[in-house]
Amino acid sequence: MSMYDSIILGAGPAGITASIYAARKKMNFLVLTENIGGQTLWSADVENYTGYQMLTGPELTERFKDHLDNYDINVIEGVKAEKVEKKRNVFEVTIKSGEVYKAKTVIVATGRIPRRLGIKGEGKYVGKGLAYCATCDAPLYADAEVAVVGGGNSALDATLQLVKIAKKIHLIDRAPSLIADDLMVEKALQSGKVTVYNNAQVKEIQGDQFVSGIVIDADGKEKKIPVEGIFVEIGSIPASQMVPDVKKEKNGEVFVDCSCRTSVSGIYGAGAVTTVIAKQIIVACGEGAKAALSVFDYINTHKDSDFEE
C-alpha cells in the first residue's frame, strides 16, 4: 500500500488550494472528495473574490478545475471518508467502500453539509422536489410555485435566484422576522412574488411520487401550501465526523491554530469545517494554502523512520 505525504479530504476552495500548493511543493499526495467545488457550487453570485468583480459559483468552480488541471494531481471523486485513525505517526483513512489509504499527514477540508429539517416526508422527497441547493436546482422550477425554508442570507439568496425563475415563492421562517441583509429582503419583497411566513414551523412535506405541498404551523394555525418544489436553507453543519479524536467546538467545527494545526499532530484543518472566523470562499482558499505549507514543514522536520509502521 502506498504511503502518501498527505491525504487531502475535500475539494472545495480549501481543498483545491491545498492541492495546488502541495503540488507546487512536489509532495506525494492524494485527494479524496465527493465532488469538485464543494459549497462554491451552491453559490449564485460571487461578488467579493479578489480579481473578479462578478461571477457565479459554478463559473468560479470551473476556474478552480482549470487550475487543478495544470498539475498532475491524484484525485478520487465520488468518495467519502468515513474515519481517520492515527497509528503511531501514520494515518489510515477509511472510505465508505472500506478501502484504506495511508499517509504521513491529513488535511481535513471537508466543508459543511446542509442542516436537515428532521420532519415527516423529508427523506422521501429529497431529489423529488426537495432540494438543499437553489443554485443547482432552481432552473427546474420555471413558472412553478415553490417554498424556501429559512430566514437568513442563504434563504434570501435562494429566494432571489427563484424570483427570476418561479411563479411564486413562499418564504417560511421560524423567527419573528427575517435576519438576512436588509438589501436582500428589500429586493425579495419588491419582486411581488414573495410571501413571507414568520413564526412558522414546517410540520410535514407531502406528495405522491413528487412533492405536492408543505404543511406549516404559522402562529398556531396549521396551513397547507401547494408547491412543486421546496428549498431548505436553514444553515449547515461541519462535515467533521470522520476525525473523532480532534478537539472540536460544540457544533462540530474543528479547532485549528494560525498554522491550521489541530489538536492531533499531523492532522490539519482548512476552510469552513474549522473554527476559522469567516466561512467565505476567499478565506477558505487562504486557509488551504496555509495548511499545505504547514504540512510541507511538518514532513521536512521529521525523518522517514518517524513514519515507519
CATH number at residue 60: 3.50.50.60
Instruction: Note down pLDDT in tens along the chain; length 309 residues.
Output: 689 999 999 999 999 999 999 999 999 999 999 999 887 876 666 777 888 877 888 888 899 999 998 998 999 999 999 999 999 889 999 999 999 999 999 999 999 988 999 999 999 998 899 998 887 788 889 999 999 999 999 899 999 999 999 999 999 999 999 999 999 999 999 999 999 999 999 999 999 999 999 999 998 899 999 999 999 999 889 999 999 999 999 999 999 999 999 999 999 999 999 999 888 889 999 999 999 999 999 999 998 888 877
**pTM score, whole prediction:** 0.81
Residues 224 and 78 in one domain: no
Give the residue from 232, 265, 288 where a domain finishes. Answer: 232
Residues 255 and 108 in one domain: yes
The radius of gyration computed from the CA coordinates of the chain, to the nearest angstrom, equals 21
HSE-CB at 219 with a 13 A cutoff on CA atoms is 5
Cell representation of residue 236: 449547515
Residues 109 and 176 in one domain: no
Which pLDDT score is estimated for 91? 97
Return the closest-CA partner of residue 265 out of 223, 293, 298. 298
Residues 17 and 52 in one domain: yes
φ/ψ (deg, to 5) at 141 = -115, 40
Residues 228 and 244 in one domain: no
Give the residue from 168, 203, 232 where a domain finishes. Answer: 232
Which pLDDT score is estimated for 44? 64
Residues 140 and 163 in one domain: yes
Alpha-carbon span 118 to 302, nearest angstrom: 47
Residues 109 and 10 in one domain: yes
Residue 220 vs residues 122, 201, 239: alpha-carbon distances, Å: 22, 9, 35
Instruction: Tell me 130's DSSP state.
Output: E
Residues 224 and 244 in one domain: no
Residues 129 and 214 in one domain: yes
Q: How many CB atoms lie within 10 A of CB 39?
A: 22
Tally of domains within the chain: 2
> Residue 128, exposed/middle/buried by CB under 10 A (0-12, 13-18, 19+)?
middle
Alpha-carbon span 260 to 225, nearest angstrom: 46
- Phi-psi region at 100: left, alpha or beta (left = phi > 0; alpha = psi -120 to 50): beta
Strand partners, 93: 84, 101
Residue 272 vs residues 129, 255, 288: alpha-carbon distances, Å: 28, 11, 10
What is residue 212's three-state secondary structure?
A: strand
Residues 132 and 222 in one domain: yes
Residues 179 and 203 in one domain: yes
Residues 91 and 7 in one domain: yes
Give the residue from 176, 199, 232 where a domain finishes. Answer: 232
Q: CA 242 from chain center: how many Å?
A: 15
Residue 177 vs residues 56, 134, 198, 204, 215: alpha-carbon distances, Å: 28, 22, 6, 22, 20
> Which residues form the domain of 195?
122-232
